[in-house]
Every structure is written in C-alpha cells, then in structure tokens.
Amino acid sequence: MIPLWKKYGIGLAAILGILFIYSMYLLTENRHGSFDTVTITTMACAVCGMGLCVMLLLTLLMDTKINLGAVYFIALIVVNFFSLLSTHLEALFTGYDGYVWLITITEYVNPALLYSTMVIFWMYIGYITGAQNEFYSKLEMVFVVIFMAGLLPLLINLYTGDIFTVTKNATVIYGPLKPILLMPTFFMMIVGLIGVQVLVSGRRKKLALMIFLLAPITSIILDLGIAIISTINIIYCLALLIIYGNFYVGRSRELILKDAELLEQRAKILISQIQPHFLYNSLTSIMNIEGNPPATREAISDFGLYLRGNLDTLKQTGPITLMRELDHVETFIILQKLELGDRLQYETDLKVKDILLPAQTIQILVEYCIEYGLRGLGHGTIFVKSWIAGPKYVIIVAHDGKRFDVSDLNNSGKSNLETVTFGNVRDRLADTVGGEIELFRRDGGGNLFRILIPIPKMHRSDTPPPRW
C-alpha cells in the first residue's frame, strides 16, 4: 500500500517533472530566434537547478518514512523550483509584446517566493531543533512581521510603479526603490543566523543551515562583482543539496541507532524468557512428574524446543508469521501447564495466519495475561484470535481473569518480565511493521490486547471477527 503522503508527493514530482521537461524544450527550441549569452546562461542555469530540485524531491519520496521536517524540506524544494521556473520564463519571454502579463507576474512572484523560502526555512529550523520556547516564538513573530512588511511594497507598486514597471514590449524598468525588495530577505537572514547560533547544536548541522541563510548576501556579492546573471536561486539549490547531505547523514545515523535499539530489545526479551525464575519453575515441574517417564521425556523435549525458539529469536532480524509465533506460544503454554495444570486453558480462532509481526510479541502478551490476570485463580483461559478489518489486520490476545492496566505492565516487578515493558512491545511493533497495540477491558471479565497492523491495499477485505 502506498501511503497517502507518497501518492501526493509522486503527483507533485510528476508535475514538476513535466514543467522541467517543458523548460528544457523551450531552451532547445529557440522559438524566437537567437538568444544572447546572458539569456542562454540564465535559462540553462535555471533548467539545471530545476532538474536538481526534481531529483532531490524524488530522493526524499524514496524514503519509507517521512516527518514534518521532511515536509518543510519538500516545501523548500518546491518553492525554489518555481522561483527557477519564474526566472527561466522571464529570461525567455522578456522583450516580446504578447507576454507583458507573464513578465509582470514573474516580477511580483519572484520576491514573494524568496520571502516564503526564508519563512519555511525558519519553520524547518524550529522542527529539527525541537525549539518551542519563548525565544523561538519571538523570532518566529519577527519573521512573520518581516514577511508581511515585504509584501506591502509589492502591493503598493501595483498602483505607483516606484519599484519597477513593465513596458508594452515586455521589458522591465526598475525604479529607485528597487533595493527595498532586498531588505526583507536581508533582515530575515540576520534573524535566522541569530536563531541558528542560539538554537542549533552540532557544528556540521549549524554550518549547513548557515550556508543556506547566507545565500542571499552571497548572491548579491556575486551579482555585483562577477556573475552576469542572477545567482540567488542557483545558490539556494546548492544550499539545499548541502542541507540534504546533512539530512541524509543524520537519517543514516538515526537508522543505525534504531537497529541497535531493536537488537537490544530482542536481547532483553530473550533474557526475560530464560530468567532463573522461569527455569526453576519449569525444571521443578518436570522433576515433580512421578512415575511417568514418557511424560517427563515429553516435558524435557518441550523445554528444549522452547529454549531453541528463544535462541532463534535473537538471530531473527525481521518479522515472522503469526503461525510461527503461535507455534512458540503453544510450547510456552505447555510448559506453563506443567505448573498450572488444567487450570490454564488456551483457545485460538485464526481467520488469518500469515500476518507478519515481531518475534515473541504474542508470547509476551500471553505471559502478561498469565502473570497478571490468571495466576492465583482457580482457572482461566487465554484467547488468541485474528481477522481482517478493512485496511488492518486485527489480532486479539485476551484472558478472562483479573483485570490490570498498562501501569502494571510498565512497572512489572515480576522477575521474568522486569526487563520488558509494554512500551517495549508497542515500540517494536511500530518500528518493525507499523502496527499499534492497545489494552482494553474485556466484556465478561479480564483484559483484551488489540493489535492493528496495516496490510497491502490489494489484500484488503473484511472478514467478520470471531465469536467470543
């Protein structure tokens, strides 16, 4: 199943790709005769920048996860793309009578997009730093004020023409107030540099963000001294590339840490299942089987299978099927019944058996039910059921004993569960298969764990839940 955000992202990338291809066509077609060097250079740089924006967007969309920071970064890419497109069209159609409207639009759009870039970038900084304090809020308000103040001269220019005017032959004449258009960007740059210096930690990250913020002043210096064309959007493209490199390195480190965390959790789960308390109970129960050597041999065999299953879990790097998980759970139940006897019952009703989930998820929930809900009672039953409900697999693990809540599970105190909390189970489920889990009270007594796991769209169907 393709996530909704990725569908929209692919649609956006397709639109940008079509505009990019059309821009290349305009560059190569030379439909109005020979372009001069400045026009050709401007158009070529704009087309290259647009291509870079499309590639960056597609690269981001290939990621399996996306957060608000990535959304802000995509917004920066899109805004820069349209700034480059505007520059490209202005260079192409300047001087041609029929395109006065287009040149007018580009002259108003370019500054507005530039201001928007700085505002979105500040929101991106706020997200990656997690800063939501009073200092950040004040700087955010300053950004908004500068942005609105920057748009005001553009609105006034519609009536006065003091900043620029577009002649009948589609050429632009700048007035003495043109520098006013640069002031909002300059002030936002200063505020942004102060914010990065105060809020951002890490030399590498701070340097990448400062390069982006310094793009306007760098462009002004180049435009006054060396460049024959406007360089602001090209510099922004390069700055985005640097930030993406920083983002990619950070993302790689995050994934490495996440894999290490999952491995540590698997090790904790393994340890929790072979604690001395459980070993002692199991071996004591086996020794207490009197006068029945076949039953003793069978119990020892089950115990060996259980230990082997736990060792296999440590080597398992990905999810396993529900059926494989329940094979291990049945062995665990058999060992528990050595101590509890027929007081412990186990029932399954599986409408779906090939659901993928992290190893030992069900076993831990079953153990919760036994330790917190059934132990100490005269009898009790564990239920495991599964079915499909629309876009989700549903797995239920329940018991009919004493009720408990999540706080009991996260502050265990049980010697064989003290290393595994309900939060560990929930996090592994989310990180491995994108699932979620909740604990409810069960009608008629006991508790009910409900696991929901997304399924591919092509496999979706509704199957009625099993009867209780």
Which of the four pLDDT bands, split at 50, 70 and 90, describes residue 409?
A: confident
User: Is 60 in contact with 69 (CB distance < 8 Å)?
Assistant: no
In terms of domains, do 370 and 223 share one? no
Q: Is the pLDDT of residue 60 over 60?
A: yes
Q: CA-to-CA distance for 364 and 269, rounded, in angstroms?
A: 8
Four-point Cα dihedral 96, 100, 106, 109, nearest 10:
180
- 454 pLDDT above the threshold of 60: yes
Could you tell me if residue 244 is inside a domain?
yes
Q: How many helices (H) and strands (E) does the chain have?
A: 15, 9
In whole angstroms, what is the distance from residue 209 CA to residue 250 CA?
Answer: 14
Query: Same domain, yes or no, for 149 and 283?
Result: no
Of the ranges 81-90, 152-161, 408-417, which one carries the lowest mean pLDDT score?
408-417
CA distance 407 to 397: 18
Q: Which residues pair with 320 in a beta bridge?
A: 357
Residues 217, 347, single domain; the answer is no
- Which pLDDT score is estimated for 274? 44
313-330 mean pLDDT:
78
Q: Is residue 71 part of a domain?
A: yes
Q: Which pLDDT does position 146 carry in this prediction?
A: 92
| Number of separate domains in the chain | 2
200-211 pLDDT tens trace:
877 777 887 887
Q: Report pLDDT for 290.
A: 54
181 domain-assigned: yes
* pLDDT over 90 at 378, yes or no: no
Helix ranges restricted to H, 62-167 = 68-93, 100-129, 134-160
Q: What angle do CA 275, 298, 272 make, to 5 degrees?
A: 15
Residue 352 belongs to some domain of the structure: yes
| Domain termination residue (choose one: 224, 256, 288) | 256
Identify the pLDDT of residue 465: 59
What is d(CA 454, CA 164) in angstroms, rounded to the nearest whole number? 55
Token pair belonging to 269: 């789960």
Residue 248 placed within a domain: yes
* Amino acid 376: pLDDT: 78
Q: How far is CA 326 from CA 313, 320, 331, 357, 367, in A?
A: 13, 10, 9, 11, 13
Q: What is the pLDDT of residues 110-157, one digit of tens each?
A: 889 888 988 888 888 888 777 667 888 888 899 899 999 999 999 999
Residues of the chain above pLDDT 90, percent: 13
| 285 and 214 fall within a common domain | no
pLDDT in tens, 250-291: 665 665 556 656 555 555 555 455 444 455 455 555 555 555
**Residues 105, 32: one domain?**
yes
> What would the two tokens of residue 79 be?
């805004």
Q: Based on the domain organization, do 223 and 279 belong to the same domain? A: no
In the prediction, which pLDDT does 255 show? 59
Question: Out of 28-37, 40-49, 149-158, which region has the weakest mean confidence (pLDDT)?
Answer: 28-37
pLDDT greater at residue 391 or residue 303: 391
Read off the pLDDT of each residue in 313-335 and give the average, rounded to a whole number: 79
3-state secondary structure 328-381: HHHHHHHHHHHHHHHHEEEEEEECCCCCEECCCHHHHHHHHHHHHHHCCCCCEE
Same-domain check for residues 8 and 37 = yes
Q: Average pLDDT for residues 41-61, to the nearest whole number?
A: 80
Asked if residue 436 has pLDDT above 90, the reply is: yes
| Domain of residue 233, residue span | 4-256
pLDDT the model gives residue 240: 74
Residue 466 lies in a domain: no
Q: Is there a single domain that holds both residue 373 and residue 322? A: yes
Residue length of the chain: 468
Looking up residue 327, the CATH number of its domain turns out to be: 3.30.565.10
Distances (CA, A) of 360 to 309, 320, 328, 410: 9, 9, 8, 17
- Among residues 204, 230, 256, the one where a domain terminates is 256
Which pLDDT value is given to residue 261? 62
- The pLDDT of 9-14, averaged and rounded, is 77
**Does some domain include residue 94?**
yes
Same domain (yes/no): 232, 323: no
Whether the per-residue pLDDT at 198 is higher than 90: the answer is no
Q: Residue 459's pLDDT is what?
A: 56
Mean pLDDT of 295-324: 64
Burial string for 107-118 (b: 16+ CB within 10 Å, else e) reads bbbbbbbbbbbb
Based on the domain organization, do 250 and 284 belong to the same domain? no
Predicted local confidence at residue 385, as pLDDT: 95
Please indicate, yes or no, if residue 11 is contained in any of the structural domains: yes
Q: Residues 221, 367: one domain? A: no
Residue 440 is predicted with a pLDDT of 92
- Exposed e or buried b per residue across 200-230, where buried means at least 16 C-beta atoms within 10 angstroms of its C-beta: beeeebeebbbbbbebbeebbebeeeeeebb
- pLDDT of 302 > 80? The answer is no
Q: How far apart are CA 364 and CA 329, in angstroms?
A: 9
Measured distance CA(296)–CA(31) in Å, rounded:
91
Which among 225, 256, 287 is the end of a domain?
256
CB 113 within 8 A of CB 90: no
Residues 169 and 101 grouped into a single domain: yes
